[in-house]
Every structure is written in C-alpha cells, then in structure tokens.
Amino acid sequence: MFFFTIRRIIASVLVLIASSFLVFALCAASFDPLSRYYTQNPRPPQAFFDNLREQFGLNDNFFVRYWNWLSGALTGDFGQTIGGTAVTDQLWGRLWITGKMIFFAVLIAVVLAILVGVVGAVRQYKPSDYAFTFLAYLLIALPTFWFAALLKEFVAGGINDAFGRQVLYTLGEESPGIASYGTPSEIFWDRLGHLVLPTICLALLSFAAWSRFQRSAMLDVLGSDYMRLARAKGLTYRRTVMKHGLRNALIPLTTVVALGIGTLFGGAIITEQVFVWHGMGEYLLKNGIGQNDINVVLGWLLISAVFVVLFNLIADVLYAVLDPRIRLA
C-alpha cells in the first residue's frame, strides 16, 4: 500500500506539471496584459508600452516566462495583478469562500447518491425507483443558473415566509458588517443561512448524475456470482448488500466524483454569480477575464488543477482501500 501510494503521488506531480505547462501556454496565447491600453485615446507613447513589457517580462521567451511563473507559484507567489496587488492574497481568501461551498456540496451529493442509488438498485422498477429516476433526470436537465434562481426566488421566499423571519439568505456569503458587531453564535448562524442555498444548488445538480452511476454499479454487483454465493452460504440479504455489494459498487462512484470536481468548480462560478458570492468565480470573471489579467486567470486555473489532481489521487488510494486486488496488482 505504501509503494502504491508513492507511485500515485509521483504520477500526480507529473500530471500537475504538465497541466501547469498547458495552462500557461493557453493563457500566454490568449491574454495580452497591454490590450486595454491599445484603444485609449490618446494612445500612450511607445516608451510606455516598452516599460510595461519589461515590467511584465513579456520580452523574455516563452520558456523563461513559464519558468519564472512556475517557480513563483511553487513558493505561493502567483505574481501581481494589473492593478499592482498580489494575486496570492486575493486568491486564498476567495478560495476559502468557494471551497467551503464545494466541500459541503460534495459531501451532501455523495451521501444522497449512495442512498438513492442503492435504494433504486435494490428496489428496481418499484415506484421509489421510478420516482428517483424522474427526479434525477429532471435535475440533470436543469441549467445551473436557472435552478439557482428557482431556489433563490421560491424556496428561500417560501421558507422565510413560513418562519416569519429571515432564515435563508440569497445575497452574499454573510450579512454586511456582522463580523464587527455580531456574537460568535450570530455570525455562525448567519453564515450558515447564506451557505445553505448555494450548497444545495451544487449538491443536487451533482447528486442527480452520480446517483445514476451508483444505481448502475449496484445493479451490476447484485447480479454477480459472488453475491449469489454469499446468499447461498446463508448470509442475509441486507448483510450481503451492505458488506459485500456496496463496497465494490462504490468504485465507479469514486471515479465519477473525482472527475466531477472540475465540473463543480465550473458550476460554482455560475452559482456565485446568482447568489452574489465574492469567491473564486467572481474573481475569475471580474478581475481575470474582465480585465484581461493573465496572472489572475493563471492562478485560478492552477488552483483548480491542483484540486482536480488531488481528488484523483485520493480516488486512486480509495480504489486500493475498496478493492484489495488493485493494491496487490
């Protein structure tokens, strides 16, 4: 198990280096930090552009620029924005805002996918299976922005009206200024109220597809020879499903969840726009793409790549935990 994990870590590092190279190549070809000055009237003198090109290192060749950026990124320095502020300072604060939403969304989506997938497989073609199938396909068909708007307008409004007070919030990650005057308990419940709807939006849209994979994997396991052998040896159906079936059926779901982290980052961008969260999504659109700032986009993409590779590494380790044959191989 130790050498298996070491091999996977080395492979993950190599994948991350290759990802950083591709990310930098795409951004270097797509973004020009000086483009916003070209259309100014009157146009700045050539000496102004020469000074900026020297300041941003644009006079160096591609590989020198890549090495300078990568060496800085490895030490936690993603460079400066066009406005002169450090990208790292902005990025880490916003990563915490987006990260907590994605973490709880993944947790809720995985639990629901396992429960619904197992129930749908065990009770195949029963009313509950049809109901879960209909719900899953309905959620899969819904665009993220539209589902978020539905939660914002109808669910939040209905619950708040039922309680007669503000329970769920639809704007921002916390009430303005509450950190300066609220008690720890008030701050906790306020932030929780702001977190519920964006998390539910991401979780349900992810759960819908994941539950279908879990149902399919569970059906394959239930029809396998070793499951029939376990029943023939006298084990109860519940024990056979929970101890022998579920563990093997979790392997495909592990793969899907690991690959879906990148999709969650993309969904978080839209969700943050609907609920006005000041997280990584807003930072990418407003400060990165909106201002044609290559360092902001590079930092965002590299952080996303790190999490995608990290979750795939965790998935590889979980494969060995769930199926000893993978570890022994």
User: Where do the DSSP E strands lie in 154-237?
Assistant: none
Number of CB atoms found within 10 A of residue 2's CB: 6
pLDDT at 324: 67
The values of phi and psi at residue 306, to 5°, are -60, -45
pLDDT higher for 166 or 111? 111
pLDDT at 234: 82
Distance CA 200, CA 75 (A): 35
- What's the average model confidence in pLDDT over 240-244? 81
pLDDT at 164: 81
What distance lies between CA 229 and its chain's CA centroid? 40
- What's the average model confidence in pLDDT over 292-316? 88
Amino acid at 196: V
> How is residue 26 written in tokens?
């795409």
What predicted TM-score, i.e. pTM, was given to this entire model?
0.86
Sequence-distant (≥ 6) Cβ neighbours of residue 325 within 8 angstroms = none
Confidence band for 325, pLDDT divided at 50, 70 and 90: low
Q: What is the DSSP letter of 39?
A: T
Residue 25 has pLDDT above 70, yes or no: yes
CB 199 within 8 A of CB 105: yes
pLDDT at 201: 92
Check whether domain 86-325 has CATH 1.10.3720.10, yes or no:
yes
Q: What is the DSSP letter of 77?
A: -
Per-residue pLDDT tens digits for 254-275:
888 988 888 888 888 889 899 9
SS3 86: strand
pLDDT averaged over every residue in the chain: 86
Distance CA 133, CA 151 (A): 21
pLDDT at 245: 82
pLDDT at 246: 84
| Residues forming a β-bridge with 86 | 80
What distance lies between CA 225 and its chain's CA centroid? 37
Nearest to 204 by CA among 251, 141, 262, 247: 141
pLDDT higher for 182 or 261? 261
**Side-chain half-sphere CA neighbours of 215 within 13 A:** 22
Per-residue pLDDT tens digits for 312-323:
888 888 877 777
Distance CA 190, CA 223 (A): 48
Sequence spans of domains, the chain: 86-325
Residue 9 has pLDDT above 60, yes or no: yes
Confidence band for 327, pLDDT divided at 50, 70 and 90: low
- What's the average model confidence in pLDDT over 3-28? 88
pLDDT at 38: 79
Distance CA 211, CA 129 (A): 11
Number of CB atoms found within 10 A of residue 285's CB: 16
What distance lies between CA 59 and its chain's CA centroid? 36
Confidence band for 6, pLDDT divided at 50, 70 and 90: confident
Number of CB atoms found within 10 A of residue 260's CB: 19
Per-residue pLDDT tens digits for 94-146:
989 999 999 999 999 999 999 999 999 988 889 999 999 999 999 999 888 88
Residue 328 has pLDDT above 60, yes or no: no
| Residues forming a β-bridge with 80 | 86
Distances (CA, A) of 305 to 261, 294, 298: 10, 16, 10
Distance CA 240, CA 252 (A): 19
